[in-house]
Structure 1
Amino acid sequence: MDDSVVVSPDWLASRLDDPQVRVVDVRDAWEFDGIGHLPGAVNIPFDSYRDESDVDRGTLPGAEAFAALLGDAGISPEDTIVAYDDTHGVFAARFVLTALEYGHDDVRLLDGDYSAWNQSHETTSETPEIEPVEYEADPRSPEESPLVGYDAVADALERDAVFVDTREQEEFEEARLPGAVLFDWREVVNDETRRLKPEAELEALLADHGITPDREIVLYCNTARRISHTYVVLRALGYENVHFYEGSLTEWLANDGEVESGPVASE
């Protein structure tokens, strides 16, 4: 997957001296400063690119606000961005999704997280010097974007789409979209290495849940954080027909959408 949206620690380590490869740490500032970070990384905390008030675009921060974040971090539109966190990549994946939505062509997710990197590569507490730049976002058109809203999701329920619920089993049994399959986003992560499982294993795991490249796939969770990780993984595996329900179950329930509850009988 090193040539795709997901890159390995070794891939990144060999490119840290490239001025156009920019590393983004999305942890809280106290973690970035107090625990340490990857060499040359800039800190753009998760809360800074998530805005609960953006009712039209879910929790995306808005194109101008995101462009300001990147510009203040010294990142240009032509740079390659590699994002990471210390939570198996779930917060960093949200950054990747956001950057893609606002037109950044080359943005990657570090396979693993800070702890995975720290097992075999150096970290630092030095804060890099940042020279701010002007960054202009180029948001995707609705036709280009994987993001879908309530009406599109309701329409997809009438088709043979696979609705993938990336939450935990307890949440799934409390309420879920009709016919959804449970696929906890953490199933793709190896707990020991903190990195993604091998590609063949991922494909078999997804297929066991009926999540295959030939199907139309709709991802949702509660507030579109966890599906960001699953979306990036599917993209890395070459899945193309993947829809990202930004409003997720929060919006679905607010619109009195139909739900199911209770355990699913095993076949």
Structure 2
Amino acid sequence: MNPIISATGLASELSSERPPVLLDVRYQLGGPPGRPAYEAGHIPGAVYVDLDTELAGPPGAGGRHPLPDVAEFGAVMRRAGVRADSPVVAYDGGQGWAAARAWWLLRWTGHPDVRVLDGGLAAWRGALSTDTPTPVAGDFTPEPGALPLLDADGAAALARTGLLLDARAGERYRGEVEPIDKVAGHIPGAASAPTTENVDESGRFLPAEALAARFKALGAADAPEVGVYCGSGVSAAQEVLALEIAGIRAALYAGSWSEWSSDPARPVAKGPARG
């Protein structure tokens, strides 16, 4: 199944006999919360899901956006109307990070039919609504393990034996700047692969062939395993999604750099080389 859907395709499905459950996951790193934007206007029928409190656990040793408690995540999805047999579409403001986080969590916990609105809300051309829907409670019960997941030790090993991609901006990978975490640099052996290169100027994902060529040039086609990390495990989900579009299954290191760099015993590399 194609993990993304166009705005035109979504409009068509919303008017069908089996419309998808819509999740509005607007989120901006360091910016205002997404709920006021949701209340000001959202795709009709969409339910707001907060990334910081509902798609992540409390920040701590596991990073700034550790995975949420599975039971609590399941309760959030059921309140949103997600059923085991219902299609789900997630969208955000356009960067694809938050929507991909929702996509990854649902897929990781066993939901078979989840897609991301390509280009986010900016791509939507239909009317917006200020009504808050009250969906019938769903029956989705999460069962983790359907997608590969890495911890810190697994990420370190994969950087040696496979291909570990760093989805942050290049200057953060090289250790030239670090606006969020206390330590600058990257996991030794990881390759730089910024998420900005997965999309075009409008925020839509590049065609599958272009993404496949990009990741092939990075070594993904020949690697026995591929993994991705970022700052806190959010934008890396967008890269896992891009790899999925390209036909490459990749593992997510959910703790990412915020977890890795919190332990002074873990090695840090700097510069353009993988280290």
TM-score by length of 1: 0.86
How far the C-alpha of 1:203 sits from its partner, in A, is 1.8
User: Separation in 1 of the partners of 2:25 and 2:61?
Assistant: 23
Q: CA deviation at 1:168?
A: 0.8
Which digits, 9 at most, give the CA deviation of each residue in 1:91-141, with x for residues without a partner?
110111111222222111111111122xxx213124253134153423224
Counterpart of 1:172 in structure 2 is 173
My pick for the range that moved more, 63-72 or 207-216, is: 207-216
Counterpart code for 1:122: G
**Cα shift readout 1:146-198 (whole Å, capped 9, x = no counterpart):** 11112222332442x1121110122111111112211111111111x321122
Instruction: Mark the runs of 5 or more structure 2 residues left unpaired by the alignment.
Output: 27-33, 176-184
- 2:178 maps to none
Shift of 1:205: 2.1
Could you say if the C-alpha distance between residues 65 and 219 of structure 1 is closer, same or farther in structure 2, counting changes exceeding 3 Å?
same
Structure 1 residues 32 and 150: CA distance shift in structure 2, 3 A: same
Q: Report 1:39-54 matches (<5 A).
A: 39-47=44-52, 48-53=54-59
> Which residue pairs with 1:198 in the alignment?
207
Distance 1:145 1:72, change over 3 A: same
Over the matched positions of the two proteins, sequence identity in percent amounts to: 28
Give the whole-Å Cα distance in 2 for the aligned partners of 1:91 and 1:199: 21
Displacement after TM superposition at 1:83 (Å): 0.3
SS in 1 for 2:115: strand
The aligned length equals 254
CA distance in 2, matches of 1:111, 1:229: 11
1:1-267 → structure 2 map (5 Å cutoff) = 3-18=1-16, 19-27=18-26, 28-34=34-40, 36-47=41-52, 48-53=54-59, 59-117=66-124, 121-141=125-145, 144-159=146-161, 161-174=162-175, 175-191=185-201, 193-212=202-221, 214-240=223-249, 242-255=250-263, 256-264=265-273
DSSP 3-state at the match of 1:254: coil
Superposed CA RMSD: 2.3
- Aligned to 2:242, what secondary structure does the other structure show? helix
Give me the TM-score of the superposition, normalised by structure 2: 0.84
Whole-angstrom CA distance in 2 between matches of 1:185 and 1:53: 23
Residues 195-240 of structure 1: CA distance to partner in whole angstroms, max 9, x if unpaired?
1122222222222222326542121112101110000111122113
- SS of alignment partner, residue 261 of structure 2: helix
Q: Is the 8 A contact 1:102 1:138 kept in 2?
A: yes
